Amino acid sequence: MVGSRKLSNDEVEALLSGLDEESTEESTQQFDPTEVREFKFGTEDLSLLGDYYALRMINEKMCRFTRSVFLPMLRIMPRISSFPPEVKSFDEYVESCDNFVSVTNSRIEELRGNALLVIEAPFVSHLTNSYYGGSKVQSLFSQSGEFTATEQRIIEIITEGMNASMEAAWKDMLQTKFEVQSREENIQFVSFVDGADTVIVCAFMVQMPNHDPVSFDVVYPLQTLKPISSQLRSRVQNEFAQDDRSWKEKLQNAILSIPLTLTAEIGNPKTSIGKLMKSSTGDTFAMATPEHVLVKVAGERVFFADIGKVGPNAAISMKKRIMKNGERDG
């Protein structure tokens, strides 16, 4: 290039130092600490399961099935209601619980995950007292921080019955098996999920006459329910799933009860137009006698049969079924 020259070392260093100063000023302006927002890497897209409609329906069924679990112990029919599912981190849920609770960790193999059943300690004591004949009103809740051997046995009975109730509540959507993995008396010691992981808390309230309401929770990790998120968003399947089996049976019975007309084709005599025009009452047309008569339904060939009599009535006896490809099934 005409008139061009190389820059000296001093000029190059001056240019580089100027660029460093400008980049430092720009970086200081761009990364103002006051504008930095905190981000938690455990955050989930909570819109994944929609409004949890199907899960709410499962919880309502759970309320009905669980009544039969508590009835033999309380000797009264309790009123059980469910609250809308809540989404929170596991740490937040642990902070909202008392340290002394009954916690049962059950495996759901079909979903490759676990679920927690959390029951308040006063409720366990009340169930134990009522089961062994105590007052329906009196509660013998102990502040010792651990359950007695008798209370632990009651917890086993409750857990077995409530796991069966959960399996029944989930049955219309998914055949599941809740298998107990471990039990704890302090939820902070439960090996379930990381504290920052998202869980779905299904809370239930139990109301009894002359007694303060008590509660229990069923807790699912969000990751456990993700594989069936599309089913949990559905508003249709749970309304009809319960009657699906009986509906199929009724439909099958209705189809099998449809009346059909069988036509027995004895033969196909042939004649000419001239003879047919000259024929009159009493004329006879000869025809070959087939080995079997052809039985049709709605014009379709279905059987070969023999003609006979049953009492005073003519009858046909089915001999061979005609397959769709025209072959005979003897």
Instruction: Give one DSSP letter per residue of 145-187, joined into a string.
Output: SS--HHHHHHHHHHHHHHHHHHHHHHTTT----EEEEEEESSG
162 near 115, Cβ under 8 Å?
no
| Whole-angstrom distance, CA of residue 326 vs CA of residue 192 | 64
Q: Where are the alpha helices (DSSP H) in the chain?
A: 9-30, 53-74, 90-96, 121-131, 149-170, 222-225, 229-233, 237-240, 244-256, 273-278
pLDDT at residue 35, rounded to an integer? 60
Phi/psi for 243 (5° steps) reads: -100, 10
The encoded tokens of residue 314 equal: 């003519």
* Number of Cβ atoms within 10 Å of the Cβ of 317: 12
The encoded tokens of residue 149 equal: 């051997």
pLDDT at residue 24, rounded to an integer? 52
Longest dimension (CA), the chain: 134
- In order of their start, the domains of the chain are 53-249 (3.40.1550.10), 260-329 (2.30.330.10)
22 vs 230, more confident = 230
How do residues 202-222 score in pLDDT, each as one tens digit? Answer: 999 999 887 888 899 999 999
| Whole-angstrom distance, CA of residue 157 vs CA of residue 284 | 86
285 near 295, Cβ under 8 Å?
no
Q: Which of 144, 120, 117, 140 is nearest to 130 (CA)?
A: 140
pLDDT band at 330; cut points 50, 70, 90:
low
How do residues 33-45 score in pLDDT, each as one tens digit? Answer: 556 656 555 444 4
How do residues 87-119 score in pLDDT, each as one tens digit? Answer: 988 999 998 888 889 999 999 988 888 999 999
